[in-house]
Structure 1
Amino acid sequence: MNLKKIKMAIYAMYLTNRYGIKLKKAKSSQEQMNLRLQYSKELLSKLNIKINVENKECIPTQGQYLLISNHRSIIDPLIIEIALENSNINGYWVAKKELYNSSFFGTFTRNAGTILLDRESSNMSVFFKKAKEVVSQKHSIYIFPEGTRNKQNTPISSFKEGSRIIALKNRLDILPVYIKTNANDILKEAIEKRTKDLTINICIGDIISYKDKTPLEENYKKQFNLD
């Protein structure tokens, strides 16, 4: 690891844990959401990364949705937070147990408004109970239906069935977003070369009804011409 990487890693850890402590002290879910947005802006600004949103008119100004997105990099949640900045949609992220237990992300993840997903558990009732509780409090749910970061040379990897089940159980229409730029490549360039004025393009799709019986992956690919 070169000096630039070390400096950025130290800064990112400092910033993430500083906001994790702020989030722990937050007195409302709205304060949590505001802090998440501030964190996203501060870190991406430090990385000299800007977010360009295509089809902004497709972003609902209010309501509850299951937001789904492709997933290539650790900064994907930050990209989406910024893309939705001018919307009143407040969502809880579905977060893996590994993030809850991480020394880097743990404090932040546990306090940022998330739903714990333990993929090793044989009983998913706790997860679905928490999801229902979040929706009853008028929040949306954000998830990466691929389940983990896509490290293949393909636009997306296979979707897991869980996203569709969440939408059906909670009667949440689906808001698809597609991060067009390979954010992982941009992140590497930002850290290793400190390139200025880097841009990540994100595209907003049309709302998909939770009643739509078309396979979610097929619907998503059609929206963004990924076939």
Structure 2
Amino acid sequence: MNALTTKYPWVKRKRAYWVWLNTVARLIGTICRLKVRGRENIPKEGKVLLVANHRSYLDPPLVAYAVKKRPVFFMAKSELFDTPILGSLIKHWGNAFPVKRGKLDLTALKTALEILNKGELVCIFPEGQRAPKGKFLRGKWGAGMVAIKAGAPIVPCLIEGSEAIIGKERLISGIPKVNVTFGKPFTIDLDDKKENYQRAVDIMMERIKELKSGN
């Protein structure tokens, strides 16, 4: 990862990642009474694209702690890296790299592909933003492009209840309870053409939704 770690030096600090996972992420998971299903569906090695729905700012540490057995790399909106405290935490503890929202960020997508091609696990939230409670947004086609170009096994992930951790939902529902469910890996066999990218991400979102009906 030489070129990558020159640009984002924190992504090679795996020791720091495990410290973060077993302190901050573990604390969040405990407070949220995190329940994990399907962890055995995550390949133990090799490149993996994990795709999840998005409900809360705390989804990344929840997913990382739910995966537990291997490092997870995330896209995070670029504004977070400029936040004094949170930005420092991301750079020193989290396996995250910036993505510019509101437009297609080819640099971020190329970074995701580079990490995948190094045999790592990358988590993408195809919706690109947080969805309201119980709702799903249509995925952005950039996630479909990564899936097709990477050719990696895709693991769908359903997050439920994380919207109640902070904000108005917390006041209404009290102590939150979060469920994270991992589905079986699948692949998308589509030609690498732009017209297939949205089709690919639609397939991924359907696989995520299917996990809800299976609970």
TM-score after normalising by structure 1? 0.72
Q: SS of the counterpart of 2:180?
A: strand
Residue of structure 1 aligned with 2:99, choices 114, 117, 121: 117
Give, in whole Å, the separation in 2 of the partners of 1:219 and 1:193.
30
Cross-structure match for 2:3: none
Does the CA contact (< 8 Å) of 2:156 and 2:207 recur in 1?
no
Determine if the alignment matches structure 1 residue 225 to structure 2 residue 213: yes
Task: Classify 1:79/1:128 alpha carbon distance in 2 versus 1 (closer, same or farther; 3 Å).
Answer: closer
Displacement of 1:195: 5.7
Q: CA deviation at 1:33?
A: 2.7
Contact 1:70 1:144 in 2 (8 A): yes
Aligned-partner Cα distance in 2 for 1:216–1:160: 11
1:203 aligns to 2:181 (yes or no):
yes
* 1:35 to 1:63, Cα distance in 2 relative to 1, 3 A: same
Instruction: Select which of 151, 158, 181 maps to 2:138.
Output: 158
Structure 1 counterpart of 2:21:
37
In the aligned structure 1, how far is the partner of 2:209 from the partner of 2:40? 20
Check 1:67–1:188 CA distance in 2 against 1; reply closer, same or farther (3 A cut): same
Matches within 5 A, 1:47-196: 48-85=31-68, 87-88=69-70, 90-111=71-92, 112-120=94-102, 124-151=105-132, 153-180=133-160, 182-188=161-167
What RMSD in Å do the two structures reach over aligned CA positions? Answer: 3.1
Alignment CA distance shift 1:54-1:132 (3 Å): closer
Structure 1 residue 138: deviation in Å?
2.2
Alpha-carbon distance in 2 for matches of 1:161, 1:106: 27
The structure that is helix-richer by fraction is 2
Aligned counterparts of 1:193 and 1:157: Cα–Cα separation in 2 = 24
Q: Which runs of 5+ in 1 are unaligned?
A: 1-23
The structure with the largest alpha-carbon Rg is 1
Distance 1:192 1:103, change over 3 A: farther
Deviation at 1:36, TM superposition (A): 3.0
Instruction: Count residues with an aligned counterpart.
Output: 195
Give the TM-score normalised by structure 2.
Answer: 0.75
From the superposition, tell whether residues 146 and 106 of structure 1 become closer, same or farther in structure 2 (CA, over 3 Å): same
Tell me the distance in 2 between the aligned counterparts of 1:169 and 1:25: 25
CA drift at 1:120: 5.0
**Unaligned stretches of 5+ residues in structure 2:** 1-7, 191-199
SS at match of 1:158: coil
Q: Do 1:69 and 1:144's aligned partners in 2 also have CA atoms closer than 8 Å?
A: yes
- Following TM superposition, by how much is the alpha carbon of 1:219 offset from its aligned partner in structure 2, in angstroms? 3.2
